[in-house]
Chain A
Amino acid sequence: MPTVTVNGEDKQASQPQRNLLSYLRYDLGLTGTKYGCGEGLCGACTVMVDDQPIKSCMSTVGSVAGGSITTIEGLAMAGGLHPVQRAFVEESAMQCGYCIPGFIMAAVGLLSRQTSPSQDVIREALSGNVCRCGAYVRIQRAVERAARETTE
């Protein structure tokens, strides 16, 4: 039986073929990770697996066995919001908010690889995520702010 760590807790997953997004949402009740397209093209289902952002709708539990998964629910730290979450609040980088957990996870992944990404690098790294409300200008500003505030 595969074991995964989700937000720091060890979990047994009885079905290795279980879709990872479905597992997180419906078996563990972690509904902050969203279903948007089921094809890996909107990024609403992005989670971190061992510090790499992945599209959970395109994965199975078995494929991440032994890995450490962080979802949006596990991002906030004891001291409060993660700097990327805080930056999204401060820049009002959202409208309906449905895509935002996915954008935040993708941004966290980017900033863990690169502390001061250029505007173009941010745009490229987030181009796998869709915000249909079109809050892109603000999302860009939020990621720039988060990068600034974490390097300061």
Chain B
Amino acid sequence: MTSEGLTIIGSIAPGFPVSESGYGARAYGNTQPGLPSARWLLVRPDGNVTAFAGKVEYGQNIRTGFAVEVADELRVPLEQVGVVLGDTESTPWDMGTFGSQSTARVGLQLRKAAATAREALLELAAGRLDVFTQDLVVSDGRIASKADPNRSVSYGELIAGEMLEREINDEVPLTQIGDFQAMGSSVLRMDAEARVTGRAIYAQDVLLPGMLFARILRPPAFGQQLADADTSVAEQMPGVMAVAKEGDLIAVLAEDDESGDRALATIEATWTGERAGTHLDIPQLLMDTKRDPISVQAAGDVEEGLRAAEHVLEGTYYVPHVAHIPLEPRAAVAQWEGDRLTVWAGTQRPFGLRSELATHFRVPEENVRVIAPEIGGAFGTKSWYPAGLEAARLARFAGRPVRVAYSRQEDTTEGTFRPAALIEIKSGFRSDGRITAWEFKAYHTGPFPFIAQRGSETPYDIDNVAVTVYSASSLVRVGSYRSLGGAVNHFARESHIDEIASVLALDPVEFRLRNLSHPRFRRVLETAADAFDWQAGPAPSRRGAGVAIGADVGSFVGTCLELRVEGREVKVQRVITALDSGLTVNPEGAKNQVEGSTIMGLGTALYEAVEVRNGVVVNASLTRYQLPRINNTPLIEVLLVGDPETPSTGAGEPGIVTVAPAIANGVFDATGQRLRELPLQRHLVR
């Protein structure tokens, strides 16, 4: 794929931090990439630069983040940088866009690629201008002699007519903080105009000539199997091209969306298997089926710590399933040309989907191209993307391009949910405010211990600690959610910490600080409390102030908020979160992410919960599933306190982990009611 200009190739390793046994492999069975190295950057003869990354854009604003990093390292104006994302044909292999790895790993790799290009161009310029590289200066895509600025050459002139290739130099000097132009300052997002004019294309918007609209027959309840389906009426309906019966996949293929809907409704199907299970059974299900304990943190001897304590406190916390509800329901369009397949799909794992498709159809991976266009929200659930294979199977059946676009309700029930969890905490502490023992047992539904584990460790200085997480059976399909189990585990821990402070009649901020030596935790807590103007004193103070701290994906957060309780309604009024995610590439982008995390956490704290009756999710549509709206949005202030000398860590997820516990603590401060179960508004007694 050598092109005119300067191509920078390099290892794809930064895209998958832990390949064989790590997060992605355990979560989704990712295969190894076929090629160890790929093209990351192309400097073109016209001076424009294109960066390539296998990550996808679902609102994190990584496109702009990557462009900023490349522009700064290459010393070119931001407008000259383009970014190609999530296309298996043109971008480096990538495990998937999750776990806040984009800036931390791929961004760094692109910086190195751009710096390597800059060094290569300097060498070329030295030869061309007959000046030593150290006597040259680079700016605005031009290289000039320091002594004689008139002796200069542009990037384009250096590479015109050439097909140069360089490999990323891992040791290449990166731009120093003081020399950043765009990095660290807030730039407007480069894809904003496409988004406000309707030009941005999402998977739901991909329409090909000759394309058929598919509607798939779904089981009425989880776990039910199709026994028989009478499709004879549907087949005769106007606008229906055919009804596909491909084993378990039955779908109407129609010339337009509404003909498909109408025909689907006429299919008479019988199903076998019980319609079983309600959400009220889940806590008992967790206790009955908990298995595969993993010790996440162990120190000292908890029994000894409890004996050394003056007080022992036990608490059980419960968090129900919640739904992601990305505003764009899953959609995919598939097109076959001979034995070559192209699929447009809003998946978080385009390369994973490519492997799935190649395996299913027994074709080489090179024959399959997956393109992830703009993605209308994901939050973890779009790693699970069955629409891609469904569209490809139906397109092969029909011999025409096929679009599978889920309805809202279908997207919810055929998607994944955040695991529900029951968490038992036992703590021992002394009257001087020292915690001497900490036992934390978390039972999360589903077979994904990496979800249960996240954020379960205690950050406090406790000598005797036992943190254990368990898997368990699940009524519904579970999967990744923003921060995985982090927000769930934090709810239990930070609620319990407040309960201890209350037993000791200590101020919740002061109590945390007494047990917290880690400087980054202390800084986020102190910064948030100062900015909030925290009034020290034991809860309940009737003011409705709540606090929590947390960590996720290597970043640290502290949140203080205030709320009012009116009847059974909790009105969160003001939220202040301090985030330390090291070097912040794009402060506006990071703040936007923390604001969004705050809103999302607020919904899960107050009213979101998936209800299951007889194996059916009964609140899969927006009539029954309440989402945060603009008229219940609090004032949100985000303080970025990361040290620019510390490497970048994630900003998309940490902001959610403190929200639910801070709200629960605020409700206690306002009312004296300690609610150990989410969503709080269902359990509040007026």
Interface residues of A (CB under 8 A from B): 18-19, 22, 25-27, 29-39, 41-42, 44, 71-73, 75-76, 81, 85, 88-90, 92, 94-101, 104, 122-124, 126-127, 129-140
Interface string of B186-224 (1 = CB under 8 A from A): 001101111111111110110100000100000000000
Contact assessment for B374 and A134 in the assembled complex, using a CB-CB cutoff below 8 Å: no
Neighbouring A residues of B623 by C-beta, 8 Å: 39, 41
Contact assessment for B258 and A44 in the assembled complex, using a CB-CB cutoff below 8 Å: no
Contact assessment for B197 and A72 in the assembled complex, using a CB-CB cutoff below 8 Å: yes
Q: A96-B376, A96-B377, A137-B595 are in contact. Are A123 and B329 (CB under 8 A)?
A: no
Contact assessment for A89 and B377 in the assembled complex, using a CB-CB cutoff below 8 Å: no
Tell me the residues in window 368-385 of chain B with beta carbons closer than 8 Å to chain A beta carbons: 374-379
- Contact partner of A98 among B189, B191, B192, B202, CB < 8 A? B202
> Among B59, B589, B636, which residue has the most Cβ atoms of chain A within 10 A?
B59
Q: Closest chain A residue to B255 by CB distance?
A: A26
Q: In the bound complex, what is the Cα–Cα distance between A22 and B207 (angstroms)?
A: 12
Neighbouring A residues of B297 by C-beta, 8 Å: none
Interface bin, chain B: 35 or more
Tell me the residues in window 584-632 of chain B with beta carbons closer than 8 Å to chain A beta carbons: 588-589, 592-593, 595-600, 621-623, 627-631
Contact assessment for B198 and A95 in the assembled complex, using a CB-CB cutoff below 8 Å: no
- Contact partner of B630 among A19, A30, A32, A136, CB < 8 A? A136
Q: A31-B201, A135-B595 are in contact. Are A96 and B327 (CB under 8 A)?
A: yes
Contact assessment for B597 and A38 in the assembled complex, using a CB-CB cutoff below 8 Å: no
The answer to the question of B304 belonging to the interface, with a C-beta cut-off of 8 Å to chain A, is no
Neighbouring A residues of B407 by C-beta, 8 Å: 38
> Among B196, B257, B376, B631, which residue has the most Cβ atoms of chain A within 10 A?
B196
Q: In the bound complex, what is the Cα–Cα distance between A133 and B629 (angstroms)?
A: 11
Neighbouring A residues of B635 by C-beta, 8 Å: 137
Neighbouring B residues of A85 by C-beta, 8 Å: 196-197
Contact assessment for A36 and B408 in the assembled complex, using a CB-CB cutoff below 8 Å: yes
Q: In the bound complex, what is the Cα–Cα distance between A130 and B630 (angstroms)?
A: 8
Contact assessment for A81 and B197 in the assembled complex, using a CB-CB cutoff below 8 Å: yes
Q: In the bound complex, what is the Cα–Cα distance between A35 and B409 (angstroms)?
A: 12
List 6 A-B residue pairs with CB atoms under 8 Å apart, sorted by A's residue number: A19-B258, A30-B198, A33-B198, A73-B199, A88-B192, A134-B597
Q: In the bound complex, what is the Cα–Cα distance between A36 and B412 (angstroms)?
A: 12
Contact assessment for A97 and B631 in the assembled complex, using a CB-CB cutoff below 8 Å: no
Q: In the bound complex, what is the Cα–Cα distance between A72 and B194 (angstroms)?
A: 11
User: In the assembled complex, how far is the CB of residue A75 from the closest CB belonging to chain B, in whole angstroms?
Assistant: 8
Q: In the bound complex, what is the Cα–Cα distance between A88 and B195 (angstroms)?
A: 9
Minimum-distance CB pairs A-B, first 6: A32-B198, A134-B599, A98-B376, A95-B59, A96-B59, A97-B195
Q: In the bound complex, what is the Cα–Cα distance between A27 and B60 (angstroms)?
A: 32
Q: In the bound complex, what is the Cα–Cα distance between A89 and B193 (angstroms)?
A: 7
Q: A37-B621, A134-B598, A136-B599 are in contact. Are A92 and B189 (CB under 8 A)?
A: yes
The answer to the question of B61 belonging to the interface, with a C-beta cut-off of 8 Å to chain A, is yes
Neighbouring B residues of A32 by C-beta, 8 Å: 197-199
Q: In the bound complex, what is the Cα–Cα distance between A18 and B633 (angstroms)?
A: 36
User: In the assembled complex, how far is the CB of residue B210 from the closest CB belonging to chain A, in whole angstroms?
Assistant: 13
Contact assessment for B256 and A22 in the assembled complex, using a CB-CB cutoff below 8 Å: yes
Contact assessment for B592 and A95 in the assembled complex, using a CB-CB cutoff below 8 Å: yes
User: In the assembled complex, how far is the CB of residue B61 from the closest CB belonging to chain A, in whole angstroms?
Assistant: 7
Q: Closest chain A residue to B197 by CB distance?
A: A76
Q: Closest chain A residue to B201 by CB distance?
A: A31
Contact assessment for A41 and B375 in the assembled complex, using a CB-CB cutoff below 8 Å: no
Contact assessment for B596 and A133 in the assembled complex, using a CB-CB cutoff below 8 Å: yes
> Among B327, B329, B596, B600, which residue has the most Cβ atoms of chain A within 10 A?
B327
- Contact partner of B633 among A97, A99, A101, A140, CB < 8 A? A140
Q: In the bound complex, what is the Cα–Cα distance between A126 and B632 (angstroms)?
A: 11
Contact assessment for B592 and A101 in the assembled complex, using a CB-CB cutoff below 8 Å: no
Neighbouring B residues of A124 by C-beta, 8 Å: 631
